[in-house]
Structure 1
Amino acid sequence: MPSSNPLPPKENALFKRILKSYEHKQYKNGLKFAKQILTNPKFQEHGETLAMKGLTLNCLGRKDEAYEYVRRGLRNDLRSHVCWHVYGLLQRSDKKYDEAIKCYRNALKWEKDNIQILRDLSLLQIQMRDLEGYRDTRYQLLMLRPTQRASWIGYAMSFHLLEDYKNALNILDTFLDQQQKLSTTVDYEQSELLLYQNLIVQESGDLLQALNHLEVYSPQIVDKLTLKENLAELNLKLEVYNEATQIYEELVQRNPENTLYYKKLIESKRLTKEEDILAFYLKYSEKFPRAMPPKRLPLNYATGVQFKQLVDKYMRKAFSKGVPPLFVDLRSLYKDAEKVRIIEELVLSYVEALKKSNKYSETESTNGPKEPASAILWVYFFLAQHYDYLKQTDKALTYIETAIDHTPTLIELFVAKGRIFKHAGDPAEAYRCLDEAQAMDTADRYINSKCAKYMLRANLIKEAEDICSKFTREGVSAMENLNEMQCMWFQTECALAYQRLEKYGEALKKCHEIDRHFSEIIEDQFDFHTYCMRKMTLRSYVGLLRLEDVLRGHPFYFKAAKCAIEVYLHLFDAPLKDESAEQELNTENLAPSELKKLRNKQRKAKKKAEQESAQAREAQVKRDQHHKSRQQGDVEADAPQLDELIPDKLARVDDPLDQAIKFLQPLQTLARDRIETHLMAFEVYYRKRKVLLMLQSIKRAHKVDPKHPKLHSCLIRFLQVVKENQSTFDPAVSEVITIETKSLLSTKDAKTLNKEFLDNHKNSLKAALEGAIVMYQLEEKSQKEALSLVTDIDNNKFNDVDIEICTDILKSLRNGEIGSCTPSQLDSFVQRCHARYPYAAAFKPPQEAQEPTTDPTQTNHVSDQDCCGN
C-alpha cells in the first residue's frame, strides 16, 4: 500500500515486516519491528507505524493502549488511508459498525480503489443492511476485479436484496454467458448459481420464465431433488396439473414418508371431495404398505364407520409394535368430538379384550396368534394421555398407575404421570415423577432436561442446576456453562421461576442473558458474508439474511422479553426498598450481641457476593479466550467486554419503563400478530402517560383480537386517562383521540361500555373477571356485584373455566383488584376451586399443601405445545 508519508528503504522494510507479522499473527514480532522504527527520533511520530502498533496491541488484548496509538497515528497523518483503515478495524472489533463505516469512507477518500478497504466496507454494509451503500461498493469491486466470480455475484445479490430483480438477472445472465464460454464442465457451484438465479426469477413473479429456465438448465443442475420440487411447484402454480401430478408421483415414489408430497399431489389431481381424497390415500397405502403418511392422513378426512375401521387398524398396529407417541400422533383428531368418542370406545374395548383373550377383539379369540404382552401396557399408556387431554385427571391417573404396576421400569410412564400432574396444577408432584424417571436412567440427556424443566416450574432452581450439572463441563458452574452454550429453554424457565419467587434481579439477569444470545447470533452472521459467497451457498445465504432480520420474533425471545417487561412494570409500580437504609434504621433498636450477629451475617453475604462476582468475571474471561481461539481472522478476535449483569443493580434501575421499552420494541416489529405485545405496550405507555401511544397500542390489539377481555379493561383505563386530562391536551391530540375512538367505541361512557361488554360475554369467565375489576374501579360500592360475577364458578353458564383463570381470580381477590375480601370469602372461593380441581396446588388447604416455595397463585401453566417442549 503506498504511503502518504513514505519511509526510507530501511524503515520501509521494517514496516513491511510489521504487516507480515500481523498477517501471520506473530504479534510480538510486529511490536518489536514497530519499536525499531519508532525509537528513531526522525520517525517516532510516524502515523502509519503508530497505527499498526495499535492494531497489533489490540490483538494482544491491550485495547486502551491500542486506541491511544491509533488515534495518535491518525492525528499525525490524517491523509493516510492506512491510519483510517486501522481505526475502522478497531471500531469494527468493538462492534461499532456505524463508526467503522465512517472510517472506511474516510480511508477511501485518500485511496478510492483499495480492494481490501472496499471489501471490509461491503461486509459492514450488508451486516447493517445498508443495501444501497452495499450495491455501490459491490459495483466498485466489480469494476476493479471484473474477472472474479464473487464480484459479479455480490453485485447481483445487492440488487436482489433491494428487490430490483431485473438488474440482478441481467448481471447474472452476463456472468453466466462468460462462464459458458470459459468452461463446459458442470459442477456443484455452477448448479447452485443456476438455482439461485431461478429463485430470483420466482421472486420477481414471472413463474413461466422460472419454469422455462429450469427446463433449459436442468442438465447442469446437480441437486435433482430441489430441481424436481421446484418444477412440480411451478407447474402447480401455473395450473399445468398433468405435469405437476407426474413429478409429484415421482417424488412420492422417491420418499413415501414426506406428507407434503401427498398434499401437493392431491392439489395437482384437483381432488376436493372427501371420498375422493380417502380413495387416493387408500390406493397409496396399498402401494407403499410400510409408509406411515398414507395410513395416518386419511384419518383427517374419514368419518363414521369408515373412520372407525381405519383408526382401528392404525391403532392396533401401533399398540402391537409399541409406539409411545401414538397419542401425540392422533391428538389433532381430538377437535372432532365424534372422533374422540370412537377412539375412546375402541381403546376401552381393547382393554377388556386383551385382559380376557390377549386379543384386540373377543370375537377374534380363536383366530391367529395372540398379541404381545406389552400391547395392553401401551393401551393403558394411551388411555392415560387420552383422559389427561380431556381433563379427567382421576381416570388418567388410574390408567397410568395401572400401567406402572404392569411395567414399573418403563420411563415413559413416569414422564406421562408427571405431565398429568402438571396439567392438574401440581408442579411439585409433577417434578417428583420426573425425578423418579430420571433416576432410572441417569445417562439419558432428554429425561435429564425434562426433569430440570419440571424442577424449575416447581421453583427448585438449585436442584435443577444440580441435575443439569451431570451433562455440563467440569470446573464451571452448570448455570454458567448453560449460559455459554446458549441453552435458552433453561434460562427462560429460570427467569420465570425467579419471577414467581420475587427475585426480580435474578429474573432480569436471565432475560438480559437471553437478549445477549440473540445479539451474538446476529453478530455471528458476520462470518458468513464472505464464506457463503465463496462456497456458493447463495440460496441458504439469502435465507440466513432474512432469518436474521426477524430473529427477535422467535418464541424464545418473546418469552424472555415478556418476563422482563412484566418485571420492569412491577418494579415501577413497587420499587425495591433501599436495604442499607432500612437496616440502619433497624440496627438502632438492636442489642449489642444481636448487632454483632447481624454484622457477621452481612460480612458473609458480602464476601459470598464478591466470590460469585469474581467467578462470573473469570468465566467471562474464559469465554472470551475460547471465542478468540475460535475466530479466524484478525481483530475479530477481541470482542468488546460486556457489562457484568449484577442482579441487584438490574432490579434497582432508575428507569424501569425505558428498560421495558428496549425489550418491547423488537416485539412491536416482529411479534405484532400476538395481542400480548400490544397489551404490554399499553401497560408501559399507560404508566408513562403517553396518550397517543396508548391509543396506538389499543388499535393494534383491536386489529389482532377485538374480543380479548384484557383489551376491554385497557379501553376503559384509556377513557379514564382521557377524561381526567382532557383539558391539558393539545387541540390536535384531542382531535386525533376523538376521531380514532369513534371507530373503537359505541359510547364514551365507561359504565355503559362495561355493561355492554358483560352482556355480550355472559358465557366467559375471563371476560367476567375483567368486567368485575373494571366495575369496582369505576364504582367501589359495586364490589358485591363484582365479586358475584367471578366467585360463582360452579355456575354452568361459563364455558371457559379452567385452572388458569381460577388462579387469576384468586390472585385478583388477594391483591384487592376487586376490593378487600374477608378471609371467609377467600376460603369459600378456594374451597370451590379445590372441589373442582383437587390436585391443583394453588387451591389445596394448608394441611394438604406441600411446602410452598412461593405464592401458590403464581403457579406457572405451560401447554404441551410451547416452544420449549412439554
Structure 2
Amino acid sequence: MPPKRAALPTKERGLFQRLIQEYETKKYKLGLKTADTILKKFPEHGETLSMKGLLLGSTHRREEGIELAKKGVRLDLTSFICWHALGILHRQDKNYEEAIKCYTQALRIEGGGNINLLRESAFLQLQLRNYPPMVENRLTLLRMQPHLRMNWIGLAVARHLAGSLDAAVCVLEGYENVMRDIPDRSYEYSEALLYHASVLEEQSKFQESLDVMENGAERIVDLRAKQEAQARCLAGLGKKDEAEALWRQLIKSNPENKRYFAGLLNLLGITEGAMDSKAVEVFKGLQADHPKSTAAKRLALIHATGEDFKSQATAYIKSALVKGVPSLFSDLKSLYQDPAKQATIEEIVETLRLEWAPTTASSPDGTDPPTSYLWSLYYLAQHYSLTGDSPRALHYIDSAIGHSSTLPELHMVRARILKRSGDLSAASSAMTDARLLDGQDRFLNSKAAKYLLRTDCTEEAERIVGLFTKPDAPSPTYDLNEMQALWYLVEEAESFLRVKNYGMALKRLVQLEKTFQEFWDDQLDFHSYCMRKMTLRSYVDLVRFEDGIRSHPVYVRAATAAISIYTKLHDEPSTPAFIDTSTETEDPALTGLSESEKKKLLKKQRQAEAKRLAKQEAEAAEKKRKAEEAAANGESIDDDGPKPDNDPKGLEVFKSSVEAPLKQAERWLRWLQQNSASRSETWVAVFEVAVRERNWLLATRALKKLQNLEGKTARVGGMAIRLKSKLPDLKGAPKPIGTVIETALSSVIAADKPLATFFAELLQGTDASTPEGMFANARTALLLDRKEEAVALLLNLPSNVESVTGPRSSNKALQTTVAARTLLAELSEGSVAEFDGKAREVFPLASAFKSRETLEQEKREREEKLKGWSKGEEVVEEGEGKANGSASYEPLM
C-alpha cells in the first residue's frame, strides 16, 4: 500500500502555498529556503520534496532535482503535485514519453479538471503525435473554457492533424458563430477564416470554401492568399473563366512569381514539359502583357520547340550574358533533359562566344560589353562539365581565368569541373584560389573547407572555417556543431570514415543525429506560440514538415555511414577506433640543450600546463556558480559558456558502439524505414543488418522492397543469392514465416533453381554491362568462390563505362570504378596497373588512377599556372588540352 500523505499543520501549509508562488514567480532562491524550512520539521513530506526538486531542476541542478522529485513521488503516490513536478522535470529533459506518463497520472488523481495540466498534456501529446488523447484533452479544455478562442482553435487543429476534417470544420464553424465584437482588420480572425477555407479545400469542398471566403471577405486581410485559394477552388469547380481571370490578376500583381504561372498553366491543361501550340500561344500573350517579366520568358522555353525555341532562347541567353548573370546556367540546366534543347543551347552560346571574341571585332559600335565574352566562356565551361566533357570544360574555364583571373566565380567553376572529373586535390586547390581572392567571403571559405574535407585534410578545413566561428569557442567544430552546420558535420564524418578514424566518424555522426533531434524538439515551443499568434496554415505545414525531417538527404547520408561502421564493428570486433599515423618529433625548443636542461624545461612546461588547466577548471566552476546563482534569483541566462569536450577523440562513443553495434544500427534503421522508404540506400542498409542478425524475414522484406524500387538488377540478384545461401532450412520455421519468405524470395530467384544457374542469368542481365552491374556481379562471384571470374569482371569494368550525359551518371560511374579498383587491389594487386590504364582512358583527370609521380608533376604545373594568372597572362593556348588528356581545341581568343 502507498504511504499515507502527512498532513501539514496550518503554519507549514501557508509556507507550502508560498513555496508554490515563489516557484511560479521564479524566486527560486527564496523557494529553496522555504522548502528547507518545511523539510526541517517534515523531512518526508513528498510534495515539498517534489517542489524542491523542481526548484533545483530550474537552477541547473537537473539530476539532483529529478532524484528529489522521484523520492517525493514515492513518498506520496496520491499527490498530483508530485507527479506534475516530476513531469515538468522530464519535459525539461526532453524525455517526453516519461513526462506524458506523469501528466496522465496527475490528471487521473486530480480528476481531469486542472486546466494547466490539460493544456501541457495536449502539447506533449502533439509532440509525440498521440492524436486521440490530444483531441480528448482539447475537447475537455473547450468545455471548461468555451469563451477562450485558443481552445476552439486548438481543438480544430487537433482534429485536423488527426485526420478528422469534418469534425475540424464543425469546430471552426462553432468558433465563427460565437465570435463577437471583432475589431477591424483583425489578423487573427482573418487567419481563422483562411484556415477554415483551406481545410474545406483539402476535403475538395470547393464551393463551401468559396462561401467561407465570400462571407468573410471584409474580414480577410491577406488578399493574395484569398485570391490564390479562390482561383484553386474555382478551378476545382470547373469554372475556368473565373479562375483564369484570378490567376491573370495575380500574375499582373507579381509577374515574377512562377507559382502564379503554374496555376494558370495547370488550369489551361498545360502540363510541365508539354510542347504544343496552345502553350506557345499562351506564353506569347503573357509576354505581350508583361514584357518585363523574366519568368514568362523563362517558362516559355519549357514549352517552345524547334525554331521558336531557338529564337526565344537566343534572346533570353544573350540578354543574360550581356548583363553578366552568373546563375544563368543553373537557371537553364533543367532544359537539358531534352537532348534537342541541350544541343540548341550549346549552339547558341558557342555562336555568341565567337561573335564576342575580341579577335572577330563583331561589335564595332560597342553595344556588347567585353564581359559578355567572359560570361559565355563561364557558361560553356559549366555546360561541358554537365555533359561529361571535362577536358573541354577545363579548356574554356582556363581561358576565362586568363581573361579575368580575379573573379572568384571562375575558380569555383574550375574546382567543380575537377571535382566531377575525379581530381579532388586539384579541385581543392582551385577552390582555395577562389577563397583567397575574397578572404572575407564566408561562402567561399566554407566551400574551400568542404573541398579540403573531401581530400581528407580535416585540420586545414577546420582552420579555415575557424576564421568565421566564435573566437572563444573551444574549437571551430564545437561552434559549427552549436550552429547546426549539417554540411560540415557530415563531410567531416565521411572524411574520418575514409581514413578509418571510426571514433571521430561516429562522434560526428552522433552529433549530427542530436542536431536532427534538436530540430524535432524545437517545435515544442511552437505548439503554444502558433496557437496564440493564429498562424494556423503555416503551423500545420510545420508539423507535417517535422514528420518527415529525417528524410533529409544529409540524414540519409549520415545514417548510411553510421550503419556501415556498425556492421564493420560487428564483423571485426577488434577494429581499432583509429590508426595513429603521427610520428613523434622532438620539440624545436629542446634542440641543442643538454639532458639536464631538457628536464628543467620539460618540468616548466608541465607546471605551466597544470596551471593553465587549473585556471580553466576554476573559471568553469566560477561560471557554473554564477549561473546557478542567477537561476536561483530567477534571472535569465543567455549563455553559460561552452562545455568542455570530455571525448575529444571519440573513444567513448566508439567504446559504447563496440558492445552491441547492431543494436546501435537499429536506431538509425527505424528512422530510415519511416522517413526514407523510397530510397534504395534504406533497404540495402536494412538487408545488411538483418542478415547479420539472422532476421530472415526482415532481410527478405528489404530484398523485396529493393526489387520494387530497382527491378531485377544485378545488385538485387546478388543479394538474393547471398540471402538464399545463408538461409536455414525453412521447413523448421513457423509455417507463416517460412511460407512468406519462400514466396517473396521466389519472385527474385526460383526455389528449385541452382545458384550457379541464376548467377549465369545475372551475367546476361539487362544491366550486366553497366559499371554498377559488373561490380555487383563481381561481388557475387566472390560469394560463390569464383575469384578468377570476379577479377576478370573487375578488369573489364572500365571498358564498359559508357559515355556519360551528366554529373550524376558520371559521378556514379566514377565512384563505382574507384570501388572496383579498391576491391581488385585486395584480390589481385598485380592487375591494378592494367586496370588503371583502362580507367584513365575513360576518366583522364581522375587522380585515383594516376601514379604518385604524375600527381606530383600536376601539382607543380598548377603552381606554375597560378603564377601566370597572377600576372594576368593568357594561360590556355591552342592544343593545351593535350596536357589534360584531351584533344586540342580551336583558339578561344
Q: TM-score, normalised by structure 2?
A: 0.84
Deviation at 1:277, TM superposition (A): 1.1
- How far off is 1:321 after superposition? 0.5
Corresponding residue number in structure 1 for 2:15 = 14
CA shift in 2, pair 1:530/1:733, >3 Å: closer
Does 789-798 or 565-574 show the bigger shift? 789-798
Q: CA deviation at 1:55?
A: 1.4
1:625 shift after superposition = 7.0
Rate the CA distance shift 1:786–1:102 in 2: closer, same or farther, 3 A: closer
Q: CA deviation at 1:142?
A: 1.7
Aligned to 2:796: 792
The 8 Å contact of residues 486 and 512 in structure 2, kept in 1 or not, is answered as yes
CA distance in 2, matches of 1:84, 1:103: 5
Aligned counterpart in structure 1 of residue 710 of structure 2, from 689, 705, 712 = 705
Deviation at 1:105, TM superposition (A): 2.7
In the TM superposition, 1:646-725 aligns within 5 A as 647-652=650-655, 653-722=658-727, 725=729
Task: Return the match for 1:446 from 434, 437, 443.
Answer: 443
Who is 1:752 aligned against? 757
**1:60 and 2:59 correspond:** yes
**1:127 and 1:847, CA in 2 relative to 1: closer, same or farther beyond 3 A?**
same
- Alpha carbons of structure 1 residues 485 and 464: separation in structure 2 relative to 1, 3 Å: same
Paired with 2:446 and 2:316, the residues of 1 have a C-alpha distance of 32
8 Å contact kept, 2:501–2:579: no
| 1-structure distance, mates of 2:818, 2:193 | 63
- Cα distance change, pair 524–106 in 1 and its aligned pair in 2 (3 A): same
Identify which of 535, 538, 544 aligns with 2:536.
Answer: 538
8 Å CA contact retained: 2:125, 2:134? yes
Q: Relative to structure 2, which stretch is displaced further, 331-340 or 550-559?
A: 331-340
Q: Secondary structure at the match of 1:201?
A: helix
Contact 2:356 2:373 in 1 (8 A): yes
Report Cα offsets for 1:599-621 as digits up to 9, x if no partner. x9xx99xx99x989x99x979x9
Give a deviation string over 1:763-820, Cα, whole Å, max 9, x none.
Answer: 423212212332343252xx44443334235656856685653553454454369x83
Closer/same/farther in 2, CA of residues 493 and 611 from structure 1, 3 Å limit: farther
Aligned AA (2:345)? I
SS class of match (2:717): helix
> What does residue range 819-838 of structure 1 map to in structure 2 within 5 Å?
820-823=827-830, 825-838=831-844
Q: What is the distance in 1 between the residues matched to 2:357 and 2:124?
A: 70
Residues 197 and 580 (structure 1 numbering): CA distance in 2 closer, same or farther, change over 3 Å? closer
Q: Deviations over 1:663-716 (max 9, x none)?
A: 111111110011111111111111222111110001111111214432221111
The AA in structure 2 aligned to 1:142 is: L
Q: 8 Å contact 1:751–1:775 — kept in the other structure?
A: no
What residue is the counterpart of 1:805 in the other structure? 813
CA contact (8 A) 2:421 2:843 kept: yes
Distance change >3 Å, CA 167–CA 189, structure 1 → 2: same
User: Root-mean-square deviation (CA), in Å?
Assistant: 3.6
1:774 to 772, 780, 804: 780
Answer yes or no: is 1:341 the counterpart of 2:306.
no
1:288-341: CA deviation from partner (whole Å, max 9, x where unpaired) = 222211111222222222222111111111111101111111111222222222
Q: Conserved in 2, the CA contact under 8 Å of 1:88 and 1:104?
A: yes
Deviates more, 1:324-333 or 1:664-673: 324-333
Identify the residue that residue 324 of structure 1 maps to in structure 2: 326
What is the alpha-carbon distance in structure 2 between the residues aligned to residue 203 and residue 244 of structure 1? 18
Query: Cα–Cα, structure 1 residues 851 and 808, in superposed 2: closer, same or farther, change >3 Å?
Result: farther
1:277-292 map, 5 Å: 277-292=279-294
Q: Deviations over 1:800-853 (max 9, x none)?
A: 685653553454454369x83251x21111111123322211000121135999
Change (3 A) 1:708 1:292: farther
Give the 3-state SS of the residue equivalent to 2:855 in structure 1: coil
2:586 is matched with which residue? none
Specify which of 551, 564, 574 is matched with residue 576 of structure 1: 574
3-state SS in 2 of match to 1:283: helix
C-alpha distance in structure 2 between counterparts of 1:773 and 1:76, whole Å: 63
Aligned to 2:885: none
1:18-417 residue pairs with structure 2 within 5 A?
Answer: 18-39=19-40, 41=41, 43-112=42-111, 113-179=113-179, 181-183=180-182, 185-271=184-270, 274-355=276-357, 362=362, 365=363, 369-417=366-414
Determine the structure 1 residue equivalent to 2:590. none
- The separation in 1 between residues aligned to 2:340 and 2:108, in whole angstroms, is 75
User: In the TM superposition, what is the alpha-carbon distance from 1:474 to its structure 2 partner?
Assistant: 1.0
**Contact 1:191–1:222 under 8 Å retained in 2:** yes
Q: Report matched runs for 1:605-616 at 5 Å.
A: none
Name the stretch that deviates more: 400-409 or 120-129. 120-129
Query: Cα deviations across residues 94-132 of structure 1 (Å, max 9, x unaligned)?
Result: 223232223223323342222222222222222222211
Q: Aligned partners of 1:539 and 1:238: how far apart in 2?
A: 23
Distance of 1:504 and 1:741 partners within structure 2: 35
**Larger deviation, residues 806-815 vs 256-265:** 806-815
Kept after mapping to 1: 8 A contact 2:794/2:824: no
Residue 485 of structure 2 corresponds to which residue in structure 1? 487
- SS of the equivalent of 1:833 reads helix
**Aligned partners of 1:142 and 1:152 also within 8 Å:** yes
Q: Which runs of 5+ in 1 are unaligned?
A: 584-592, 854-870
Distance 1:776-1:556 versus aligned 2 partners, 3 A rule: closer
Instruction: Tell whether the 8 Å contact from 2:824 to 2:832 is kept in structure 1 after alignment.
Output: no
Alpha carbons 1:21, 1:29 under 8 Å: kept: yes
Q: Decide whether the 8 Å contact of 1:256 with 1:291 is kept in 2.
A: yes
SS of the residue corresponding to residue 78 of structure 1 reads: coil
Residue 23 of structure 2 contacts residue 31 of structure 2 at CA under 8 Å; is this kept in 1? yes
1:430 aligns with 2:417: no
Amino acid at match of 1:769: F
Give distance in 2, aligned partners of 1:813 and 1:344.
Answer: 35
Which structure would you say has the larger RCO, counting Cα contacts within 8 Å and 6 or more residues apart?
A: 2
Q: State the AA in 2 paired with 1:519.
A: Q
Deviation of 1:451 after TM superposition, in Å, equals 0.9
Distance 1:189 1:582, change over 3 A: closer
Is 2:453 aligned against 1:456? yes
Distance in 1, matches of 2:852 and 2:340, equals 41
CA spacing shift, 1:810–1:540, aligned 2, 3 Å: closer
Distance 1:625 1:461, change over 3 A: farther
Change in 2 beyond 3 A, CA 1:682/1:78 = closer
Aligned partners of 1:611, 1:74: CA distance in 2, in Å? Answer: 41
Q: Compute the displacement of 1:75 (Å).
A: 4.1
Cα pair distance change 1:68/1:636, threshold 3 Å: farther
Q: Give unmatched runs, 5+ long, in structure 2.
A: 582-594, 860-893
- CA separation of 1:556/1:581 partners in 2, compared to 1, >3 Å: closer, same or farther? closer
CA distance in 2, matches of 1:207, 1:851: 69
1:862 counterpart residue number: none
Quick one: which amino acid aligns to residue 244 of structure 2?
A: T
- Report the equivalent of 1:841: 847
C-alpha distance in structure 2 between counterparts of 1:499 and 1:226, whole Å: 48
Cα distance, 1:226 vs structure 2: 0.7
CA contact (8 A) 2:125 2:131 kept: yes
Distance in 2 (CA, whole Å) between partners of 1:201 and 1:309 is 45
> Which of these residues, 475, 495, 498, is aligned with residue 496 of structure 2?
498
Task: Describe the superposition over 1:451-488 as per-residue Cα deviations: whole angstroms up to 9, x where unpaired.
Answer: 11111111111111111111111111100000011111
CA contact (8 A) 2:501 2:577 kept: no
